[in-house]
């Protein structure tokens, strides 16, 4: 079994992505057969995390694997050991490495330059692929099918938005409408990649920098304004973001829509408490789905055909 890496959603074929999402959303999600028994999963987070780190740790344990956790100060990377050597050493001991760096994904690509240990991106600067898989799992669980869903994303075009754009466009007839503050939109690279995927699936992905001319949506989605708690160089950024808060008035424009948030949330900033804690919010189901989709990811990249996902080509 050759290890499979998930550093970007681009690493998954459409069938693999759809299969992981469907697996995560299955109503009966217990794995009594422990498909990862005897495997060892490393969890290396250089940045803070509540959901993703716990989701992958719990997922590995629920699948029967053992877990080794490394904090930001634990590895010789800090004293100058190369990424390549770190990956080579880890791959002799671990079956999978789940890592959050919040840096350039090239470092993860260096760790993945071997085929013994799977490398999973638990968030890099450009993309948060496992968040998108959890989001798609949530949509599949809530709506039955993802094809044709219309999502309004309000807020910064950060790594969560990027992954959503690269994931939702793999489903036929979906519409992702991004309304991002001026100067804080998707990168050109992500816009172009998402547009290419949309052209092939018949999806729509569109971005503009105001809240005018909105049609009907099934979901309103936002994220924290300060990704991983980092602030922005422009001292006036809050003024630019203020019109993009998700309020009850905004939700009232879409009476049938549910509300999603990748969390952590700052009530009173990107969303008001009445929306996040209200009856239309599925943000905490979405958080739980991080664990269910993490199980599907680990099955795909570590257990191979022991899981339900597609065999390697
Ligand atoms: N949504 C998300 O990635 O949460 P954490 O930062 O807590 O992992």
CATH number of 129-287: 3.40.50.1370
Sequence ranges of the chain with CATH classification 3.40.50.1370 = 9-126+291-303, 129-287
147-197: pLDDT as tens digits? 999 999 999 999 999 999 999 999 999 999 999 999 999 999 999 999 999
**Could you identify the atom of ligand 1 that is nearest to the CA of residue 55?**
8
> Quick one: which atom of ligand 1 is closest to the CA of 47?
6
Whole-number Å distance, alpha carbon 75 to ligand 1 midpoint, is 22
Q: What's the pLDDT band for 104 if we cut at 50, 70, 90?
A: confident
The residue whose C-alpha atom lies closest to atom 6 belonging to ligand 1 is 49
One-character DSSP codes across 172-188: TT-EEEEE--TT-S--H
Residues in contact with ligand 1 (CB, 6 Å cut-off): 49-53, 123, 131, 262-264
- pLDDT of 11-49, one tens digit each? 999 999 999 999 999 977 777 789 999 999 999 999 999
User: How many residues in total does the chain contain?
Assistant: 313
**Which two structure tokens, joined as six digits, stand for 135?**
């989001």
pTM: 0.95
- More confident: 145 or 311: 145
Q: Ligand 1, residue 54: give the atom nearest the CA.
A: 8
Ligand 1 centroid–CA 132 distance in Å is 12
What's the CATH architecture for 9-126+291-303? 3-Layer(aba) Sandwich (3.40)
Is 251 in a helix, a strand, or coil? helix
Closest CA to 146 of 135, 154, 157, 155: 135
Share of the chain above pLDDT 70, in %: 96
> What's the CA gap between 182 and 57, in Å, rounded?
37
Which atom belonging to ligand 1 lies closest to the Cα atom of 123? Answer: 3
Q: What is the pLDDT of the chain when averaged over all its residues? A: 94
23: left (phi over 0), alpha (psi -120 to 50) or beta: alpha
CA 216 to centroid of chain Cα atoms: 25
pLDDT value at 308 more than 50: no
pLDDT band at 313 (very low <50, low <70, confident <90, very high): very low
Average pLDDT on 214-227 reads 94
Strand partners, 151: 176, 219
Mutate which of 99, 123, 138 for ligand 1? The one with the most ligand atoms within 8 Å of its CB, which is 123
């Amino acid at each position: 079994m050759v290890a499979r890496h998930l550093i970007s959603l681009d690493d998954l074929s459409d069938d693999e992505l759809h299969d992981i999402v469907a697996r995560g959303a299955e109503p009966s999600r217990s794995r009594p057969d422990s498909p990862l028994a005897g495997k060892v999963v490393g969890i290396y987070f250089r940045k803070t995390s509540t959901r993703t780190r716990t989701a992958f740790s719990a997922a590995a344990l629920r699948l029967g694997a053992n877990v080794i956790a490394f904090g930001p100060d634990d590895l010789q990377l800090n004293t100058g050991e190369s990424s390549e050597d770190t990956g080579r050493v880890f791959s002799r001991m671990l079956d999978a490495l789940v890592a959050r760096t919040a840096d350039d994904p090239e470092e993860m690509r260096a760790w993945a330059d071997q085929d013994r240990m799977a490398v999973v991106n638990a968030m890099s600067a450009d993309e948060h692929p496992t968040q998108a898989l959890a989001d798609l799992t949530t949509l599949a669980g809530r709506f039955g099918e993802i094809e044709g869903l219309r999502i309004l994303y309000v807020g910064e075009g950060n790594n969560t938005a990027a992954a959503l754009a690269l994931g939702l466009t793999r489903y036929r007839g979906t519409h992702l409408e991004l309304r991002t503050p001026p100067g804080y939109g998707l990168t050109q690279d992500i816009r172009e990649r998402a547009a290419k995927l949309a052209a092939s699936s018949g999806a729509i992905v569109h971005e503009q920098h105001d809240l005018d001319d909105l049609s009907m949506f099934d979901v309103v989605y936002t994220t924290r304004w300060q990704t991983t708690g980092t602030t922005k160089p422009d001292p006036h950024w809050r003024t630019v973001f203020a019109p993009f808060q998700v309020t009850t008035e905004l939700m009232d424009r879409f009476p049938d829509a549910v509300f999603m948030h990748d969390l952590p949330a700052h009530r009173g900033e990107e969303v008001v408490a009445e929306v996040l804690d209200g009856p239309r919010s599925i943000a905490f189901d979405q958080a739980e789905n991080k664990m269910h989709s993490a199980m599907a990811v680990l099955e795909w990249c570590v257990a191979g055909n022991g899981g339900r996902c597609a065999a390697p080509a």
